[in-house]
Amino acid sequence: MNGLTGTRRLARPVRLSLARDLGGDIDGAWWPHSAAVARELPEFIQLMHRPLGEVLDICVNWSNSEAAMDLSTIASGAGLVRGAQHRRPRLMAVTGRDGCLRLLVVPHLTPQALGTMVMRCAAAMPAPEPGREAQLLETANTVIRLAEAESARWTTHMNGENATDPVAAQPVHD
């Protein structure tokens, strides 16, 4: 049961950004504080009650043995070279009683400035003024484009059009 009641003050608040209008290939982003995602799920699920109602299901597009994409390498161009293609953006599909959404899961080791920019872009927040953050914005937009493409492929797998992918819809566990 996930009908959590009451609130508690968190030492490390959930880092979550959601688009105003849900239903796109990417509806926002979640940036866990550690690789132990399951430990952070109770607070995450509590936040999902407002946009989705009671959370009924969470699926991810990765397995425990699959390394996370290093977003910092995309900034240098190294993340898009041959050999890095097996690493895909991590996504979560969260289904609630009142709707569902798809989130990009920002790797926990992502540098603060880049992670913040990716969170903004994933939630379709207005871009900051061009300037010294231009490279971060470009990298974040690249990450979002990769995530949107992966989300479209993953949605096809989840809908049963290609049930041969063993990682198409993994339940959440650590």
β strands within the chain, DSSP E: 16-18, 28-30, 55-60, 90-96, 99-105, 170-171
Identify the domain containing residue 135 by its residue range: 16-165
87 domain residue, yes or no: yes
Task: Confirm whether 104 is domain-assigned.
Answer: yes
Q: Is residue 53 part of a domain?
A: yes
Residue 173 lies in a domain: no
Please report whether residue 7 resides in a domain: no
Order the strands of the 170-171 sheet from edge to edge. 16-18, 28-30, 99-105, 90-96, 55-60, 170-171
Which amino acid, residue 102? R
State both tokens at 73.
């390498």
Q: pLDDT at position 68, please? A: 87
More reliable by pLDDT, 63 or 44:
44
Taking residues 36-61, report their average pLDDT. Answer: 94
Is pLDDT above 60 for 104? yes
How many folded domains does the chain comprise? 1
CB 16 within 8 A of CB 48: no
Q: Is the pLDDT of residue 84 over 80?
A: no
Residue 163 has pLDDT above 70, yes or no: no
Domain assignment present for residue 174? The answer is no
Please enumerate in sequence order all residues whose Cβ is within 8 A of that of 151, keeping only pairs 6 or more positions apart, or say none. 25, 26, 91, 102
Determine, yes or no, domain membership for 170: no
Q: Give percent of the chain above pLDDT 90.
A: 57
Residue 82: pLDDT over 60: no
pTM of the model: 0.81
